């Protein structure tokens, strides 16, 4: 599937604002893939489809989580997390993308996971730093992403965890596992 076809499919699922965000994530993911030696086409497709399910009704997402035997604990956390695993499922079933690397990058772009692949990291960081994002700490993560993708990811996770703590929100375990795995790996280097 080429870029134009993918963007046409995803545009129907998103608001204009979210579509512009998706373009920014796509461009950033391609740039990071080029910088860190990942398959640019996979990064492009994963970025285009990362928010495919973002605006699906919560009830539909909840049903998919239950019917597809996704981790049920997702339902105990903020529904913002749901669109990633549901999106991976829908991209497979509705769009026909079968590549597990692409689907996993979509699946884990909100929570992370302990053993993130390079593609997972690229999509997570691209989503965090795309040019339309404006919030405290994003410029530091952008700068880190130019030098060290893992450090950028660690800082993004730290910012997210601190944000959730300040709002007295629960933190999804995979996010903590992601952070811990990266820190342990860095200490082992």
Tokens at 148, concatenated: 């060290």
Domain extents in the chain: 3-188
Helix (H, G, I), strand (E, B) or coil at 54: coil
Exposure pattern of 161-173 as b/e (b: 16+ CB <10 Å)?
eeebeeeeeebbe
CA dihedral sign of residues 114, 183, 157, 48 = negative
pLDDT of the chain along its 189 residues, tens only?
Answer: 999 999 999 999 999 999 999 999 999 999 999 999 999 999 999 999 999 999 999 999 999 999 999 999 999 999 999 999 999 999 999 999 999 999 999 999 999 999 999 999 999 999 999 999 999 999 999 999 999 999 999 999 999 999 999 999 999 999 999 999 999 988 877
Q: Where are the alpha helices (DSSP H) in the chain?
A: 3-11, 16-36, 40-49, 58-67, 83-90, 100-107, 118-129, 138-147, 149-166, 173-188
pTM for the predicted model, two decimal places? 0.96
Six-digit token pair at 156? 């993004």
The answer to whether domain 3-188 has CATH 3.40.50.800 is: no
What is the reported pLDDT for 187? Answer: 81
pLDDT for the residue numbered 59: 97
Q: What is the pLDDT of residue 186?
A: 82
For residue 161, what pLDDT is reported? 96
CA dihedral sign, ordered 83, 51, 11, 46: negative
Cα angle, residue 155 at apex, residues 21 and 53 outer, rounded to 5°: 35
Nearest residue to 87 (alpha-carbon basis) of 25, 166, 4, 152: 25
pLDDT for position 75: 95
């Amino acid at each position: 599937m080429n870029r134009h076809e993918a963007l046409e499919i995803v545009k129907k699922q998103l608001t204009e604002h979210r579509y512009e965000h998706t373009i920014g994530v796509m461009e950033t993911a391609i740039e990071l893939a080029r910088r860190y030696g990942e398959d640019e086409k996979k990064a492009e497709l994963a970025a285009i489809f990362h928010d495919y399910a973002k605006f699906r009704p919560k009830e539909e997402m909840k049903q998919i989580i239950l019917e597809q035997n996704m981790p049920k604990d997702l339902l105990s956390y903020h529904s913002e997390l749901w669109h990633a695993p549901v999106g991976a499922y829908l991209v497979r079933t509705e769009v026909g993308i079968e590549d597990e690397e692409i689907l996993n990058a979509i699946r884990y772009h909100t929570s992370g996971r302990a053993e993130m692949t390079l593609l997972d990291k690229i999509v997570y960081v691209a989503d965090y730093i795309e040019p339309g994002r404006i919030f405290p700490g994003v410029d530091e993560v952008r700068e880190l992403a130019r030098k060290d993708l893992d450090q950028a990811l660690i800082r993004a996770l730290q910012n997210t965890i601190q944000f959730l703590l300040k709002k007295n929100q629960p933190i999804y375990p995979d996010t903590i596992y992601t952070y811990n795995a990266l820190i342990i790996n860095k200490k082992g280097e």
